Amino acid sequence: MRYLSTRGHADRKRFCEILLEGLAPDGGLYLPESYPQVDGAQLEQWRQLLREQGYAALAFEVLSLYIDDIPADDLRALCAKTYTEQVFGSKEIVPVRPLEDGLLIEALSNGPTLAFKDMAMQLLGNLFEYELGRRGEQLNILGATSGDTGSAAEYAMRGKQGVRVFMTSPNGRMSPFQQAQMFSLLDANIHNLAIEGVFDDCQDIVKAVSNDLEFKRRYKIGTVNSINWARLLAQVVYYFAGYLYATESNAQKVSFAVPSGNFGNVCAGHVARMMGLPIEQLVVATNENDVLDEFFRTGIYRVRGSADTYETSSPSMDISKASNFERFVFDLLGRDGARVKALFGDALNSEGRFDLSADPHFAQAAARYGFVSGKSTHANRLDTIRDTYQRFGQMIDTHTADGVKVAREHLQPGVPMIVLETALPIKFAATIVEALGQEPTRPAKFEGIEALPKRVQVMPADVAQVKAYIEAHCAD
């Protein structure tokens, strides 16, 4: 299996090369040269496998289609080490539960940091340690988080041999619980950088550093954001698992509703669908920062500046520049790397937008690729949380509420709709209290986390200062 850049760079690379690399040399994102195809017979085998051997065995089967430069026994062991009942709280790892007629929730948030990011990040930590050990090398991970990626990455990488984490986040824009999860980690290899700005400023810094190829090589810079293909690939697995848990046979189709900011989570669904998973619709649910909903409704992709990026009660989706969207547009435009480079490298930089509304390919976003979308506001969030609790006795977090609200708008008779749970309610307690008048349940291990000592460096949104910080701490 070889991987190529969405912007047309001539290089073709193996999985373990791009595992540690992040962005391609031309600023593009990596995708496989082609998507492996899963037919009905193989899907039926996986249904039996999941039932008898569990999620880790399914993960190996999916990942091995894309990873052929790690010995099979080693990859199987890495999956078994990652996806355990002890770490994820249940034998199923991602249990699917009914909410109402035709609508189910796939629980992805029972890992160490109570968010779906753990599903991929726990595997990524083990892959990094394995590959760095093989090479005798070190890696400095530079990341950006709007809330959950940071803590998931830091909990996955803390204490790992050969790995340092430098995680940027928008200063003051995460929930108190999210901040406490990250900033209370005092491990020597974990560095938190609170950037004065919004998430997109953090993401721009990560991209700028990654595009400085000389600095990137000298300091062995890698990424854990969903621009890293390995992380997105790990997320593909739970689409297959969700489908297999929710259906009795391969003759049935399902739809997935996905709370979306950076497009990584739903992009994994796109990959699963391209592989042959019987997905009817991929429902993109945004909050007030609706750049993705606007595109799927109009064909116009229009990024917002910091001043126009709203601070909302589903803060992990307060994103106006969806990095992973480039991967889908690459497929949408027939894998035309030159055109993708013109759109994402030139048009966005010069005009802050591009318009595909008149392009014949745009109509295929829904017809061929299954994408539809919708938007949820703070008032919608409160109503959905309240309604879900009062009618079904289930407490959901703010992002999952966005997913449920938009999912209900796209239900189709006879097609189960699976909402991907994003986080547990405790991470956004203030809004839960506003909606329900009561505090969400807090796992015992997180009691008093907000009062713990914290280690964080606040700095302006300045690439040079972030580089200087990395340089100064690479000898730690």
| Domain spans of the chain, in order of start | 96-113+229-436
Find the mean pLDDT for residues 163-192. Answer: 94
pLDDT of residue 243: 98
The dotted CATH code for 96-113+229-436 is 3.40.50.1100
- Higher-confidence residue of 472 and 21: namely 472
Please answer whether residues 276 and 243 qualify as being in contact, where contact means their C-beta atoms are separated by less than 8 angstroms.
no
pLDDT of residue 475: 62
Report percent pLDDT > 90 for the chain.
86
Find the mean pLDDT for residues 132-145. Answer: 92
The answer on pLDDT for 213 being more than 60 is yes
Query: Where does residue 473 rank: exposed (0-12), middle (13-18), buried (19+ CB within 10 A)?
Result: middle
The answer on pLDDT for 18 being more than 90 is yes
Banded model confidence at residue 39, pLDDT cuts 50, 70, 90: very high
pLDDT of residue 28: 95
pLDDT of residue 476: 52
- pLDDT tens-digit map of 324-365: 999 999 999 999 999 999 999 889 989 999 999 999 999 899
Rounded to the nearest integer, the mean pLDDT of the chain is 95
Please state, in angstroms and as integers, the Cα–Cα distance from residue 11 to each residue in 24, 361, 410, 471, following that order.
9, 26, 41, 29
Q: Where are the alpha helices (DSSP H) in 290-413?
A: 291-298, 325-332, 337-340, 348-351, 364-367, 378-392, 398-408
pLDDT of residue 326: 97
Of 13, 117, 405, 427, the active-site residue reads 117
| Close Cβ partners of 199 (under 8 Å, ≥ 6 residues apart) | 144, 145, 146, 169, 170, 173, 309, 318, 319
117 catalytic? Reply is: yes
What are the tokens at 74? 């080693």
Please answer whether residues 11 and 25 qualify as being in contact, where contact means their C-beta atoms are separated by less than 8 angstroms.
yes
Exposure b/e, 253-270, CB count within 10 A at least 16 = b: bbbbbbbbbbbbbbbbbb
Find the mean pLDDT for residues 307-330. Answer: 91
pLDDT of residue 464: 97
By mean pLDDT, which of 105-119, 139-153, 368-382 is the weakest? 139-153
Residues 127, 16: Cα–Cα separation, whole Å: 9
Residues 77, 75: Cα–Cα separation, whole Å: 5
By mean pLDDT, which of 14-23, 59-68, 112-121, 288-297 is the weakest? 14-23
Exposure b/e, 139-155, CB count within 10 A at least 16 = b: bbbbbbbbbbbbbbbbb
The answer on pLDDT for 387 being more than 80 is yes
pTM of this structure: 0.93
Instruction: With CA atoms as reference, report the closest residue to 324 among 275, 267, 373, 366.
Output: 267
Read off φ and ψ for residue 10, nearest 5 degrees.
Answer: -70, -25
Find the mean pLDDT for residues 95-124. Answer: 96
Read off φ and ψ for residue 142, nearest 5 degrees.
Answer: -110, 125
pLDDT of residue 42: 97
Instruction: With CA atoms as reference, report the closest residue to 226 among 194, 260, 180.
Output: 260
